[in-house]
Every structure is written in C-alpha cells, then in structure tokens.
C-alpha cells in the first residue's frame, strides 16, 4: 500500500482492493478505530481526499489520496530522560526498542524518570518529534527484549487490536533449571493471583486462561535453553508456567529459581508485527544485552 508522511499529514493512495470504500468504512471497518477517536477526527476535520474535505459517506476511487492529520504536536506524557536506547525499527507511526533488564517499561507513579518510556521520550525529543509515548505491551522489570510503542492515537488503536487478535507474534528465549526431556509441549494452566504474596502469580483453576508453547533449543550443563511463544499475555506467565512444569527459570528466585544470575533468564528475542497502515510485516530480532546465558 502506497503511503507517505507529508508535514503533519499522513497520505495514503487508495488501492484497487478498496474500490468504492468510504472514509467511514476505512476508519470504522478496515482500521476499526475507536468511536471516540473517529468522532474527534470528524469534529476536528482531520480527513481530506485529494486536498479537499469530502462527505464521509461518498465512495472513493482507486488512486485517490486520503489525507489524515495524524501527526499533531502533543506534550510528552513522561519526562524525557537521556540514556542509551537500542532501536530495532522506527517510522512515523511506531517504534520498536530493545528493553534492557532492570528497568520498568513505563512509569508506575508520577515523576518517575528512569523507565524505558522516559528514554523513548528523549529519543523523540532529540529527533524533533512532539508525541506521546504510547506503549502497546509490557515486559517485567527484569525481563529484556523487544517492545513496541505507537506514536499517535490511531496507530495505537490499530496495534492494540492486532495484539488482542494475536497477530503480533512474540518469541522469547528462556534458560530453565534442569533438563526438560519433552522436546516441545504446551502448558495450558490458568493463572491467578497468589493470595499469600502481593506480587506473585500462581496456577489456579479460578484464574485467567493462559497458554504457553515451548520448544527445547539446547541443553547447557544443568540448564535447558527453550524458545517460548504465548497465546495469552498473563502477568509472569512464562515464569509461572515453567515453574509449574518443574523447571523454574535460572535466576528467578520469586518462582523457585536459584540466584545464579542477577535476574531471571528471560528475553523477548523476536517480534513480528503487521504494519498498521502498509500491512507489510515488520520482523525484529533483539539481541540480549547482558550475560544471562541467552
């Protein structure tokens, strides 16, 4: 799909497959934008076709240029903080970064300045972009790897939907204690809160559905290196399920692992994302930035 950024406008040439679609159907049906956002775009007159305002129910023709005022200046919702940022992919709609272990994805309290979102805000500021830092998903404080942020509300809405539809694919690498004999398998055990510990989760029949697929990649002395993919995204899911399997992650003392590393050996090594507008696949490999055997 042919697209480009022109100043504060996003331009998209209507493809043949969209013949006779309207602005309304593109926003509501194709992109499935939230009603509140669609209403705001209508009230602010953010949409034009070939440079002119047109009724939203008029059919468009292939070759028409749809213009959306997406790139509005917005105040950073987190404090920009200088620091090293490992960028894996970036365009005007989203950025994928490689989170180091030992920092939160975003502030949990007002005034926090030492999270990944703060580093992303500084990166935007340094590049002259005034936009909010909109995270699409999270990683635990001590888990490293690829994380996606959107740069404007429409991109966030589409990426949020793609994540909920499981079209954003994440692959993790983990180092587990012991030798996992079954070379691949699926753990389908619901996960809920541990009533006896504020931050722990546990396998619980009354918890939320959780499905984890694993595959043995290699055996390393007293450990097993596994590739893990998730059908669901529950808090601590991989850590809980691997512990439930009898093979807690190395370094994960919260779930029975031994303190052989300064953190749990878990890393989001790869992410695949269908681009929210061009629909081309974005493939990002995230190298592990510290020495936890991954």
Which of 148-157, 194-203, 252-261, 271-280 is predicted with the least confidence, judged by mean pLDDT? 194-203
Q: Which helix (H) or strand (E) holds 220?
A: strand 211-220
- 86-168 topology per CATH: Pseudouridine synthase (3.30.2350)
The topology under which CATH files domain 171-268 is Pseudouridine synthase (3.30.2350)
- Give Cα 193 to chain centroid, integer Å: 23
Tell me the two tokens of residue 269.
């090594």
pTM of the predicted protein model: 0.95
Between 198 and 12, the more confident residue is: 12
Whether 140 is catalytic = yes
pLDDT digits (tens, 9 = 90+) for 166-176: 999 999 999 99
By residue count, the chain amounts to 294
What pLDDT, on the 0 to 100 scale, is given for residue 173? 98
pLDDT interval class at 110 (50, 70, 90): confident
Q: What letter would DSSP give residue 51?
A: T
* Percentage of residues in the chain having pLDDT higher than 70: 100
Average pLDDT over residues 136-155: 97
Please say whether the beta carbons of 274 and 166 come within 8 A.
no
Whether residue 91 is predicted with pLDDT greater than 90 in this model: the reply is: yes
Q: In the chain, which residues fall in CATH 3.30.2350.10?
A: 86-168, 171-268
For 121-182, give the DSSP string. Answer: HHHHHHTT-----EESS---TT-EEEEEEESSHHHHHHHHHHHHTT-SEEEEEEEEES---S
Mean pLDDT on 84-95 = 97
HSE toward the beta carbon, residue 185, CA cutoff 13 A? 10
Delimit the CATH 3.10.290.10 region(s) of the chain: 3-68
Give the pLDDT confidence score for residue 241 in this predicted structure.
98
| Coil, helix or strand at residue 16 | helix
- The active-site residue out of 8, 46, 64, 140 is 140
Residues 213-222 pLDDT 10s: 999 999 999 9
Query: Which residues pair with residue 249 across a beta bridge?
Result: 176
CA distances from 234 to 13, 138, 139, 177, 216 (A): 39, 11, 11, 22, 22
- The mean pLDDT value of the chain amounts to 96
* Confidence band of 284 (pLDDT split at 50, 70, 90): very high
Tens digit of each residue's pLDDT (9 = 90 or more) over 239-266:
999 999 999 999 999 999 999 999 999 9
Confidence check: pLDDT of 198 > 90: no
Measured CA to CA, the distance from residue 44 to residue 206 in angstroms comes to 46
Q: What is the mean pLDDT of residues 112-132?
A: 96
Is the pLDDT assigned to residue 20 strictly greater than 90? no
Q: Domain 3-68 is classified in which CATH homologous superfamily?
A: RNA-binding S4 domain (3.10.290.10)
Q: Does 25 have pLDDT greater than 90?
A: yes
Whole-number pLDDT of residue 224 = 98
């Amino acid at each position: 799909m042919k697209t480009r950024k022109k100043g504060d406008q996003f331009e998209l040439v209507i493809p043949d497959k969209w013949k006779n679609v309207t602005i309304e159907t593109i926003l509501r049906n194709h992109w499935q934008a939230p009603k509140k956002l669609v209403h705001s775009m209508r009230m602010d007159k953010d949409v034009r076709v070939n440079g002119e305002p047109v009724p939203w129910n008029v059919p468009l023709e292939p070759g028409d240029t749809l213009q959306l005022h997406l790139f509005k200046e917005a105040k950073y919702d987190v404090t920009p903080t200088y620091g090293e940022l490992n960028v894996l992919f970036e365009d005007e709609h989203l950025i994928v970064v490689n989170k180091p272990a030992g920092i939160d994805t975003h502030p949990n309290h007002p005034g926090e300045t030492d999270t990944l979102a703060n580093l992303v805000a500084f990166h935007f500021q340094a590049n002259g972009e005034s936009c909010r830092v909109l995270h699409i998903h999270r990683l635990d404080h001590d888990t490293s790897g690829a994380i996606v942020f959107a740069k404007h509300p429409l991109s966030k809405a589409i990426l949020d939907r793609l994540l909920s539809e499981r079209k954003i694919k994440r692959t993790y690498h983990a180092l587990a204690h012991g030798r996992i004999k079954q070379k691949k398998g699926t753990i389908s055990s619901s996960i809920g809160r541990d009533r006896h510990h504020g931050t722990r989760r546990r396998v619980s029949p009354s918890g939320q559905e959780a499905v984890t697929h694993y595959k043995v990649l290699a055996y390393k002395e007293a450990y097993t290196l596994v590739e893990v993919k998730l059908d669901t995204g529950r808090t601590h899911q991989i850590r809980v399920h691997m512990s439930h399997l009898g093979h807690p992650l190395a370094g994960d003392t919260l779930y029975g692992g031994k303190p052989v590393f300064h953190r749990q050996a878990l890393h989001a090594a790869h992410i695949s994302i269908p681009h929210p507008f061009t629909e081309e696949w974005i493939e990002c490999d995230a190298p592990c930035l510290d020495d936890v055997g991954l």
